[in-house]
Amino acid sequence: LFIQPSSYNSEFRTLWPIFILFYTVILQFLESGVIVGIDLSGDPSVDGRHFIPVLQQARAAGLKVSVHLAEVLSGLKEVDEFLVFRPDRIGHGTYLHTDETFVVQVVSQRIPLGLKKFFCLIECF
């Protein structure tokens, strides 16, 4: 893992042990073929962009990557960087429709959405 936690903010340094555990688990199971992909989800108030370097390495190792984005309106600040990363799937995406550029990127990149709430089918598209 090629990330120096001291070069990132205090939130990143707090999450560093989680990165190490996450990466260790991926490496252990990747060789066995048990894991075919990973899904990043959790508290939407925590900025998930800190996980992008780990997700890039997981993808480079052959894993599919799913991320939960735009589940809450206040969680849109990370969407741009995750769309540049091009996840293989987006969980929820409830508020992606609030920015036309997000919709265009998701559609043009053909990123599937895991819609868990029926009302979003009506509101989002």
Q: Is the dihedral of CA 65, 66, 72, 73 positive or negative?
A: positive
Kindly report which listed range (16-25, 69-78, 100-109) carries the lowest average pLDDT score: 16-25
Tell me the residue range of the domain where 82 lies: 5-123
User: What pLDDT, in 10s, does the model give residues 12-69?
Assistant: 566 667 777 777 777 777 677 777 888 888 888 888 898 898 888 889 888 899 999 9
Q: What is the pLDDT of residue 34?
A: 76
Model confidence at 10, pLDDT cuts 50, 70, 90, reads: low
Q: What is the pLDDT of residue 74?
A: 87
CATH number of residue 84's parent domain: 3.20.20.140
Sheet arrangement for strand 89-92: 37-40, 64-69, 89-92, 113-114
71 catalytic, yes or no?
yes
Domains: count for the chain: 1
* Active-site residue identified among 11, 71, 81, 123: 71
pTM for this entry: 0.72
